A and B are shown apart, each in its own frame.
Chain A
Amino acid sequence: MNCQTYRQQYTYEPSCQEEEFLSHKQACHNCLAFTKDMMQFEQSLIEAIKVEIPDGLTERILRKQFKNKKSPSLLTRFNEWFKNILYLPPIYAVAASLFLVITLFSSGLWQTDIDTDTDTVLLKPEIISYIEKTPQAFETDSKVPDAELRMMFQKIGAKMTGDIGKVSFCKILTLKGYTIAHLVLSGTKGAVNVLLIPDSKITKHQNINNVKFKGIIRPTAWGNIAIIGNQEEPLEPIAKLMNDKLVWL
C-alpha cells in the first residue's frame, strides 16, 4: 500500500483492520505526522459523540418491557398445575384437586373474565376522569374547521379518507403516557366522544359504565379506539365509521 492509498483509506475508514493498512500505519515515516493528526481528530470526534446517558436508562427500559406483561390466564395456570400433578402420587393429586376447587369457588375466581390487561387498568379510569372534566365532551354547538381537523390527524399519523360528520371539538392530549386524539362528533342522541389511542394495545373489548355516560374500548389494527356517548347512543357504528374513514400513515 502506498502513502496516497493509505491516506485515502484513513479518511474513509480510520478503524480499518486490514493488515496492509495497519502495517503502513505503523511503519511509514512519511505518514507519521498525518497519522498523528488523524488519530487526534478521531479521538476528538469520539469524545464529542459521547453524550451523557440519562440516569437509570437501562432500568427504565427493562421495567417498561416487563411491567406490562400479562400474567398467565387462569386456563394457562390450570394447565400448568395439571401437568404438575401428573407427577405426584395419587393421594396428593386428589388433595390438590379438592384444595383448588374449594379455593376457586370461595374466592370467586371461577369467572374467567379477570382483567389482566394492564393498559385497561391504567387507561380506563383516566379516560372516564378526563371526559368528566371536559365540558366540551357533551356539546355539539361549535364546528372545528376542516384544516384544523386534518392537522390534528396529521399530528397523530393518520388521515381521513371520507366524511365523519360534524366535529365540534378536537384536541390531542396525553393520558398515562399515551398520546390520544379526542374528537367530539354528533351522534343520534347527542355528542359522541371518539378517542383514538394509536399506541395503546388493549386486546379485549371493554365497556365503560358511568352514571352520566357509557362507553366502549375496542382493539383495532392500529391501536385502540374508545367511544363514549349518552346511555341510548349506539356506539359500535361510530367505532366502525372511524375505523373505515381513517388511514394510518
Chain B
Amino acid sequence: MDKLTKRRRRFETVVNTYAKDAFRFAFWLCKDRHTAEDIVQESFTRAWKALDQLTDDKAAKSWLFTIIRRENARRFERYKPQMEALEPNDISATSKETYDTSIEAFVLRQALAQLHDDYREPLILQIIGGYSMEEIAQQLGLSKGAVMTRVHRARQKLRLALGEKK
C-alpha cells in the first residue's frame, strides 16, 4: 500500500468515526445546520492537510474539535455582520423529525441555544466530546475551576428553564 493510500484510509477512519460528533459540536457552536456543515467541511479539509501532524490517533477527536472551534471562530470573525443578524435557527423544527420530540427536549434545546457561549461550549464538550474537566480546561485555555463553574451554571440554567416550563 503506498503512502497516499495509507493516508487516505487513515483519514477515512477519522471521518467515519467522528463526522457525526463533529457536526453536532459545530451545530451547537453556531446554532445553524448549514453553517455547521460548512464548518465541518472546512475543518475536515484542514484536518486532511494537517493529518501528518496527528501523531496519536487516540487524540483525533480532541484534535478535530480544536480545528472546529478555530474554524467557527474564524467564520464568526469574517462574517460577523451576517452572523449577528442570524437568530438561533429553528432548532426544534430541524431536530424533531428524527430525534426526541418531547416538550422537554424542545425546551432544553431552546435553553441550550440561548445559553451564553461561555457556558454552552464547555457543556457540549463534556457531553458530545466526553471530556474530563482537565481536558476541557486545556481545550478552552481555562482553569479547571473555571470550567467546573461554567458547566455547573450551564446545567443550573437548563434545569431552571426546564422547571419553569414544566
Q: Interface residues of B, CB < 8 Å — how many?
A: 50
Mask: chain A, 162-196; 1 = CB below 8 Å from B; 0 = not: 00000000000000000000000000000000000
Kindly list chain A residues whose C-beta atoms are within 8 Å of the C-beta of B63: none
Closest A residue, CB atoms, query B98: A52
Is the C-beta of B20 less than 8 angstroms from some C-beta in chain A?
yes
Q: Are A48 and B41 in contact (CB under 8 A)?
A: no
Kindly list chain B residues whose C-beta atoms are within 8 Å of the C-beta of A57: 19-20, 23, 37, 40
Q: Which one of B19, B27, B78 lies within 8 Å of A58 (CB-CB)?
A: B19
Kindly list chain B residues whose C-beta atoms are within 8 Å of the C-beta of A61: 15, 19, 40-41, 44
Q: Are A50 and B15 in contact (CB under 8 A)?
A: no
Kindly list chain A residues whose C-beta atoms are within 8 Å of the C-beta of B78: 155-157, 249
Interface of A is mostly: helix
Kindly list chain B residues whose C-beta atoms are within 8 Å of the C-beta of A15: 126, 130
A219 to B31 Cα, complex, angstroms: 34
Q: Are A49 and B128 in contact (CB under 8 A)?
A: yes
Is the C-beta of A113 less than 8 angstroms from some C-beta in chain B?
no
A172 to B46 Cα, complex, angstroms: 24
Is the C-beta of B91 less than 8 angstroms from some C-beta in chain A?
yes
Q: Are B152 and A11 in contact (CB under 8 A)?
A: yes
10 shortest interchain CB distances as A-B pairs: A48-B108, A157-B78, A47-B100, A58-B19, A48-B105, A65-B48, A12-B148, A61-B44, A52-B98, A51-B95
Known: A46-B127, A47-B100, A64-B45. 20 other contacts (CB 8 A): A12-B148, A13-B126, A45-B108, A45-B155, A48-B104, A48-B109, A50-B24, A50-B100, A51-B23, A53-B19, A53-B20, A53-B23, A53-B24, A54-B33, A54-B37, A58-B16, A61-B40, A155-B78, A155-B79, A157-B77
Enumerate chain A interface residues (CB-CB to B < 8 A).
Answer: 11-13, 15, 41, 44-54, 57-58, 60-62, 64-66, 151, 154-157, 249
List 20 contacting pairs A-B, 8 Å CB cutoff, sorted by A.
A11-B155, A15-B130, A44-B108, A45-B158, A48-B112, A49-B24, A49-B127, A50-B100, A53-B20, A54-B23, A57-B40, A58-B19, A61-B15, A61-B19, A61-B41, A62-B11, A62-B15, A65-B11, A151-B81, A155-B81
Enumerate chain B interface residues (CB-CB to A < 8 A).
Answer: 8, 11-12, 15-16, 19-20, 23-24, 27-28, 33, 37, 40-41, 44-45, 48, 77-82, 91, 94-95, 97-100, 104-105, 108-109, 112, 124, 126-128, 130, 132-133, 148, 151-152, 155, 158-159, 162
